[in-house]
Amino acid sequence: MDLQLRDAGVVLSGASGALGHAIARAFASEGARLVLLARKPAALESLVAEIITTGAPRPLALNCDLSSASSTDAAIEAAERALGAIDVLVLAAGAAQGGIFWDIDDAAWQRNLDAKLFGSIRSLRAVAPRMTARGRGRIVVIAGNSARLPEPRMLPGAVANAGLLAIVRGLAEELGPHG
């Protein structure tokens, strides 16, 4: 299938997870130029090697801890330098703390919200103005179904996903007119 992504500059957060691997493979098969973000870029070595064997452009794996504003900003800056422009941003990072609500302490809530919700906010805040200035770009945010149907033992992730849905809806109105 040709999705007209050949040579598109794609940044993918959460690239080290199973979903991230699948997304990276799909973009690589379309000929996109990839920057893969993960807390442990060494975990991406086999994925990078696999993509290279397909003849797709060599992906760049970058260290990025989305829970850190400076790490996120540095990774987005490095990605843009490597790609020239970010045409597509895919936010697929995040894992959720499970447990009984009253047993999940503030630190666990903060870790979950920092990685998934605030990591996405930081990424969007860095990329959206660049796309708006160019008058084009695509943003894909992966939010779990728990945003609408929360599981009682997975509430931190559900809260983060619900926040993402609100942001996506609001940004669609804000960014849509700018391409």
Question: Over the chain (179 residues), what is each successive 10-residue block's mean pLDDT?
Answer: 87 94 96 95 91 93 93 96 97 85 93 90 95 95 88 91 94 92
Pairing of strands 60-63, 9-13: unpaired
Residue type, 126: A
Residue 109 vs residues 102, 158, 178: alpha-carbon distances, Å: 11, 11, 35
pTM over 0.85: yes
Q: What is the pLDDT of residue 97?
A: 75
Distance CA 127, CA 119 (A): 12
Distance CA 40, CA 33 (A): 20
At 164, phi and psi to the nearest 5?
-60, -40
How many other β-carbons are positioned within 10 Å of the β-carbon of residue 114? 18
Q: Are 161 and 144 in contact (CB under 8 A)?
A: yes
The b/e string for 133-162 (b: 16+ C-beta within 10 A; e otherwise) is eeeebebebbbbebbeebeeebbbbbbbbb
